[in-house]
């Protein structure tokens, strides 16, 4: 073969190989190069056109933020630079250079969005979000640099800006890129199957063949899909380790997605409703409640509901586990009185440390209600008797309202019963907020309560109404003008505190000087009584149970006897009408030897001797609670049995320094 022939063959082979290159690939490469060139030109052009404007804008924005923060000695009067006066008032001009601006980062993000992500409909949202993040981060960088120069030293400004600021610049640009990519690449239809097992991925139609998964058309929902901010936060922004840790904490605290967000009272109702549909229907939810729930009210409701369905056939191992748990819970729970079914209600009671509060707590528990005890004293005995308890500030101290609302918002009781009359003034402004929390209450008219608490106003009200009342003087000068012997006591007091008996007129001045805010009244003779009363919202006297105060200690009756006297009932009713009180009250007075009745005072609350009234058959606590929960219903009249006697004794509760209960050594089965 000649030399010419060989050269001709090599030439033909080279030309043939060049013709084998795919034309479309060449065009695609050319388009990519053109796009990259246009992107570079766009970045350069945008930089040249916008850099001055961007510098001035960022300087102006930074100055506005600093002015809003009240930072002085940093001025943006130059437009594209800052004048910073350091700690020694030495001025320095901090120029906003092109490298300090966000323009280069934003242009780079825009070029990437235009070249690589332009086919995604979310690219604009991603670019805007990334740009706003970069702007905010760069503002933080500039502000921290200027503050370093203003408060530390000018050298600190240079160091922070050049070194720390460079790292911040790199970090926020990278994070901005990730934000844009995350928002742009997000696709709600990224899963290949939905929860019913139907294929939803955009597969080629040729794949619809046996053995490769048959595509089923997905019906479009008429509802617009709502954006789940928490899901985006966990999937796109938070690190996986942080998201997993938060998820574990959330799972530990929740019971089940259908009941975990509800209040304890509502959860108790829900688990009873679920159990009523059959233990085999909602077994998973009921087991979740039994496993994770910590509230005794909810657990009592669940155990009772499960025990009531023992006739139901066993549907599986989970139902057996649920029944075994319910049996164990009921065996360990305190035994209730026979015939008393739990109501599932939670009732809050204030003044849990006083005799009235303790009596109300026991009455509610005897009726099947759960109790949230509230008191200002952490050692109040009622806090140990109730299933739940909380310590609050005194009603006259700052923070009482906030602490009370926080506690009620946490527990969400159905009603609030106040046993401390001095708390009415603090509770009355909160009735609207309590109603929004779902906590019902029934407070007397504040003016009526104040009239009862102020013995001078009370005496004036009874005098105007013509109700028998001891003659009253409110200063030492006039005290000698009323018949003696006298009783000197505070005009606003309770529990027989600071009460002084005076027989000699010369001792009146000393008694008034000793007793704070003193008044004097003629000392009455006869037999002392207390009448527990309940007045409906319309002023109807629902109950009036008088009892003799056979023996008292510290103002509290320790021995008493119920009796029947129409005159006492009439005078008590007239007294409550005179002050305009509704709700529970106790009227105290004397019955003279001639049968005349004189009223001494009214406490607009339940009394400390309430247990005797309950023992006599007049359940004023349940009636009052019914009036709270159903304010439009008329309360039925209550009767009682005369001649019921009460003898009080001490009872103890034991607990550790941390509040944990200690076993009573004298309880049945413990004493030896």
pTM assigned to the model: 0.54
Residue 5 CB contacts under 8 Å (≥ 6 apart), including other chains:
none
**Does 577 or 305 have the greater pLDDT score?**
577
pLDDT tens digits, 520-563: 888 888 999 999 999 999 999 999 999 998 887 766 778 899 99
Complete domains list, the chain, with CATH: 24-185 (no CATH), 264-332 (no CATH), 346-441 (3.40.50.20), 524-672 (3.30.470.20)
- Of 177-181, 194-198, 452-456, the range with the highest mean pLDDT is 452-456
- Give the mean pLDDT of 460-470: 91
How far apart CA 92 and CA 75 sit, in angstroms, is 11
- pLDDT at residue number 203: 38
Q: Is residue 460 scored above 80 in pLDDT?
A: yes
How far apart CA 490 and CA 316 sit, in angstroms, is 70
Residue 590 CB contacts under 8 Å (≥ 6 apart), including other chains:
524, 525, 526, 527, 528, 529, 597, 598, 600
Measured from the Cβ of residue 482, the count of other Cβ atoms closer than 10 Å reads: 14
- pLDDT at residue number 592: 92
Measured from the Cβ of residue 171, the count of other Cβ atoms closer than 10 Å reads: 12
Q: Is residue 257 scored above 70 in pLDDT?
A: no
Banded model confidence at residue 428, pLDDT cuts 50, 70, 90: very high
Q: Is residue 586 scored above 90 in pLDDT?
A: yes
pLDDT tens digits, 153-170: 777 677 776 667 777 777
Q: Quote the tokens at residue 226.
A: 């709502």
645-647 sheet: strands from edge to edge: 597-603, 583-591, 527-535, 541-553, 556-562, 645-647
Q: Is residue 393 scored above 50 in pLDDT?
A: yes
pLDDT tens digits, 541-552: 999 999 998 887
Q: Rounded to 10 degrees, what is the CA torsion of 553, 419, 614, 548? A: 40
Q: Is residue 115 scored above 50 in pLDDT?
A: yes
- pLDDT at residue number 21: 46
- Give the mean pLDDT of 42-59: 84
- pLDDT at residue number 219: 47
How far apart CA 159 and CA 163 sit, in angstroms, is 6
How far apart CA 164 and CA 642 sit, in angstroms, is 87
Q: Among 19-23, 242-246, 283-287, 553-557, where is mean pLDDT lowest? A: 19-23
Q: Is residue 3 scored above 60 in pLDDT?
A: no
Strand partners, 592: none
**Does 23 or 449 have the greater pLDDT score?**
449
- pLDDT at residue number 671: 41
SS3 call for 574: helix
- Name which of 464, 448, 453, 397 is nearest 426 in CA terms: 397
Q: What is the mean pLDDT of the chain?
A: 79
- Name which of 338, 393, 339, 337 is nearest 365 in CA terms: 337
Cα Rg of the chain (Å, integer): 41
Q: Quote the tokens at residue 82.
A: 């800052």
- Give the mean pLDDT of 6-29: 59
Q: Is residue 427 scored above 70 in pLDDT?
A: yes
pLDDT tens digits, 620-667: 999 999 999 998 888 989 999 999 999 888 777 777 777 777 777 776
Q: Among 16-30, 39-53, 181-195, 446-460, where is mean pLDDT lowest? A: 181-195
- pLDDT at residue number 39: 80
Residue 155, CA atoms < 13 Å, CB-side half-sphere: 0
Q: Among 280-294, 573-587, 605-619, where is mean pLDDT lowest? A: 280-294
The alpha carbon of residue 252 and the mean position of all alpha carbons in its chain are separated, in whole angstroms, by: 19
How far apart CA 492 and CA 490 sit, in angstroms, is 5
Residue 74 CB contacts under 8 Å (≥ 6 apart), including other chains:
63, 66, 82, 83, 84, 85, 146, 150
- Name which of 477, 473, 453 is nearest 601 in CA terms: 453
pLDDT tens digits, 332-387: 644 444 444 566 788 999 999 888 999 999 999 888 888 999 999 988 888 888 88
DSSP codes of every residue in 386-419: SSEEEE---TTSTTHHHHHHHHHHHH--SEEE--
Banded model confidence at residue 253, pLDDT cuts 50, 70, 90: very low
- Give the mean pLDDT of 183-207: 45
């Amino acid at each position: 073969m000649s030399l010419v022939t060989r050269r001709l063959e090599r030439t033909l082979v080279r030309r043939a190989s060049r013709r084998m290159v795919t034309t479309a690939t060449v065009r695609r490469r050319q388009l990519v190069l053109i796009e990259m060139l246009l992107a570079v030109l766009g970045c350069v052009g945008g930089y040249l056109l916008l850099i001055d404007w961007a510098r001035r804008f960022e300087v102006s924005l930074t100055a506005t933020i600093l002015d809003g923060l009240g930072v002085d000695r940093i001025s943006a009067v130059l437009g594209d630079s800052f004048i910073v006066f350091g700690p020694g008032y030495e001025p320095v001009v901090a120029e906003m250079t092109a490298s300090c601006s966000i323009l280069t980062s934003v242009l780079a993000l825009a070029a990437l969005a235009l070249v690589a992500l332009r086919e995604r409909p979310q690219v604009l949202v991603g670019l805007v979000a990334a740009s706003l993040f970069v702007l905010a981060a760069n503002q933080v960088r500039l502000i921290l640099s200027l503050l370093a120069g203003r408060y530390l030293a000018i050298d600190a400004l240079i160091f922070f800006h050049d070194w720390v600021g460079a790292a911040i610049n790199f970090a926020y640009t990278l994070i901005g890129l990730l934000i844009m990519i995350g928002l742009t690449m997000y696709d709600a239809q990224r899963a290949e199957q939905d929860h019913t097992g139907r294929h939803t991925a955009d597969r080629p139609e040729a794949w619809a063949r046996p053995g490769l998964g048959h595509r089923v058309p997905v019906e479009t929902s008429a509802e617009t899909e709502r954006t789940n901010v928490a899901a985006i936060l966990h999937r796109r922004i938070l690190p996986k380790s942080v998201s997993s840790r938060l998820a574990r904490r959330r799972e530990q605290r929740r019971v089940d997605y259908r009941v975990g967000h509800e209040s304890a009272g509502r959860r108790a109702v829900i688990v009873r409703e679920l159990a009523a549909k059959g233990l085999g229907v909602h077994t998973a939810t009921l087991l979740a409640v039994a496993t994770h729930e910590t509230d005794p009210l909810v657990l009592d409701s669940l155990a009772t509901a499960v025990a009531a369905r023992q006739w139901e056939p066993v549907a599986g191992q989970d139902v057996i586990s649920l029944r075994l748990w319910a049996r164990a819970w009921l065996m360990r729970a305190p035994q209730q009185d026979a015939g008393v079914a739990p109501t599932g209600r939670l009732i809050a009671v204030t003044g849990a440390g006083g005799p009235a509060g303790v009596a109300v707590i026991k009455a509610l528990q005897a009726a099947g209600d759960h109790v949230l005890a509230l008191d200002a004293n952490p050692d109040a005995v009622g806090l140990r008797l109730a299933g739940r308890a909380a310590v609050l500030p005194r009603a006259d101290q700052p923070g009482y309202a906030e602490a009370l609302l926080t506690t009620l918002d946490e527990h969400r009781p159905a009603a609030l019963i106040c046993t401390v009359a001095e708390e009415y003034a603090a509770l009355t402004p909160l009735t609207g907020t309590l109603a929004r929390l779902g906590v019902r209450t029934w407070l007397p008219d504040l003016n009526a309560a104040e009239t009862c608490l102020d013995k001078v106003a009370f005496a004036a009200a009874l005098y105007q109404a013509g109700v028998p009342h001891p003659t009253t003087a409110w200063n030492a000068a006039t005290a000698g003008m009323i018949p003696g012997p006298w009783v000197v006591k505070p005009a606003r007091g309770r529990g027989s505190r600071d009460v002084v008996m005076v027989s000699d007129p010369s001792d009146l001045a000393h008694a008034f000087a000793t007793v704070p805010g003193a008044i004097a009244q003629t000392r009455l003779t006869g037999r002392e009584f207390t009448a527990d009363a309940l007045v409906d919202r319309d002023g109807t006297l629902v109950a009036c149970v008088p009892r003799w105060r056979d023996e008292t200690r510290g103002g509290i009756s320790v021995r008493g006897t119920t009796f029947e006297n129409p005159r006492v009932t009439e005078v008590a009713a007239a007294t409550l009408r005179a002050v305009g009180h509704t709700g529970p009250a106790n009227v105290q007075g004397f019955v003279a030897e001639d049968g005349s009745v004189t009223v001494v005072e009214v406490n607009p609350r339940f009394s400390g001797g309430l247990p005797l009234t309950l023992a006599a058959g007049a359940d004023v606590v349940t009636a009052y609670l019914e009036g709270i929960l159903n304010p439009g219903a008329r309360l039925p009249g209550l009767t009682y049995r005369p001649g019921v006697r009460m003898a009080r004794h001490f009872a103890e509760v034991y607990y550790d320094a941390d509040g944990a209960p200690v076993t009573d050594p004298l309880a049945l089965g413990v004493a030896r």
